Structure 1
Amino acid sequence: MSKSRLTVVVTRRLPEAVEARMGELFDVRLNPDDAPMDRAALVAAMQGADVLVPTITDRIDAGLLGQAGDRLKLIANYGAGVDHIDVATARQRGILVSNTPGVLTEDTADMTMALILAVTRRIPEGLALMQTGDWAGWAPTAMLGGRIAGRRLGILGMGRIGQAVARRANAFGMQVHYHNRRRLRGEVEEELGATWWESLDQMVARMDVISVNCPHTPATFHLMNARRLKLMKASAVLVNTSRGEVVDENALTRMLRAGELAGAGLDVYGNGTDVNPRLRALPNVVLLPHMGSATREGRLEMGEKVIINIKTFDDGHRPPDLVVPSMI
């Protein structure tokens, strides 16, 4: 007698190929409207599922997990970050959590370099000038930006994405520096041409560009706070493609408005879609709608990892991308 198929509830629309494959393997319940579920809908989903497949838009806290019931056994997150999931409480309740690490590295690193170039070369300003039809022609002093070759890039968080950013920055002729909770091995530093700073304060004060590439954890919340932002040179630029919570967005906005920083490029925000309107109004700021990982290839690979994690769990084994509280 064959065993019954796992019931898998997916909270958002996924690529068609991913949804189709899930339907072949599991009793899958999809979200055709693609609207984020409210708390009541999430509770209902968790109570009726063996496996929940959430995304970053679903905040799964202790209160929500307390209403999950006994059926839910795996939260197979569609995404690498798990700061929206109370992993410790899930484990206490016997619920495993998996994620999709590694597949978005190159895409996010590409977007980091795109933001560095967009801010320093004033690309959005030039685009806006062309779209309004106000361009009067070339002039020697018009739309002057800055050359990135030779500039010091300070990478905050030298994991997979930070290292991928370093490789790209080297190709552009930037000097690569980094701060990480653990120093890289000597051969990796040599390969990346990267200089380690034990003191984040000292690194921040000497860089031309700061790239935030560390995850959001209790230890990294507002790591770039008002005091640390004030250490940056007035000519420096900050780029964040990691998590908005790592940067004190209000302090950053005040400094940009006061001319105490040259510019910023942001793909993530401290309050989700509620972006400070004063930040949006600044000409020296490039804002993107959390699209650093938005490639067709990346989204398909994320789905493949989710399916592998669920199928491995269904076969009675440990999901390959299992997240444990000590990792966070």
Structure 2
Amino acid sequence: MLLNQQELENKEQWTEADIRVPTFDRGAVKRQTEMAPTWLHLGPGNIFRAFPAMLMQKLLDTNQVDTGIVVAEGYDYEIVDIMKQQNDNLSLLVTLKTDGNIEKTVVGSIMESLKIDRESKEDYQRLGAIFENKTLQMVSFTITEKGYSLTDSRGNYGQQIVEDFTNGPEVAESYIGKVAALLHCRFLAGQLPIAFVSMDNMSHNGDVLKSAIHTFASNWQENGLVTPEFVEYVNNPEKVSFPWSMIDKITPRPDETVAQMLRKDGFEEVDYKITHKNTYTAAFVNAEETEYLVIEDAFPNGRPPLDKVGVIFTDRNTVNQVETMKVTTCLNPIHTALAIFGCLLGYERISEEMKNPLLKKLAEKIGYQ
């Protein structure tokens, strides 16, 4: 079986392979999303397809929302070509459960995939229209920490960034520059409210994103390319919010062991591709079962009801405490310790290391004591 909308219509073959498929009407949801988009996500990589996209699917399957997600890629455009042309924006999530079993689900909550690329004029115009739509509630990000960086290791702005500061939003070419330019479109459409939600794994991620966007806005104002009101708009949390978040889900590269299991089930698209920009991508994503997403509840235009599928919306201080717990106690230090001692002992997988009673005891001592 292949992963596309036509193959999805043959539900019997997916049932025989024990693969769950979306139960909602993708055609109807796609039409509604085109008219009234609510969620745009930038950076449709593995963690997004395995976690936030799956959350939206749960809401769609239970008729709690009637629009899906629009995704956009601003760095590796090949990803969009693969998603759109080969897989009709579908992906296969393989969840590795703690009891050793696996759960397979076709994720179909992505309705459109676009390139944040001025040379792809149709895509860029569509993004402009989405940003100008009153229904848009959230723009989320999983673009990795380096995606927000405007400077080199010495603190100097990159050449493309400097050119964007000088040339303005109409011709901005850097990743964050184009995002800021699209936000300027929303400002011109009536200072419409929006939440910019970084879901990247870095401390106080919302502030990092706000700083990058504000840097563009303030430089454009200084150069007379935007009005002071645009800077005020970016700085007004009742118009543009930048919530903090903490995300936790392990989504490694496509695994050959998982690929072999899928081949036995009759799933044909198991080979991963390495793009020209060295991104590893495949039609399937393998991920662990455990997942957490905690977000500061600051959404000036409303938000999808993700709290009904496990997302915790709370205050900023609680997000900070949860992140501190993850980074200093219950996840990162345990993984680091297991990685170091596991490598010294010749292990290649943390799951195998945890079968060693001494390493298991080490992990428990770090976590609990």
Q: TM-score range by the shorter chain?
A: under 0.3
| Greater fraction of residues in helix | 2
Length-normalised TM-score, structure 1: 0.25
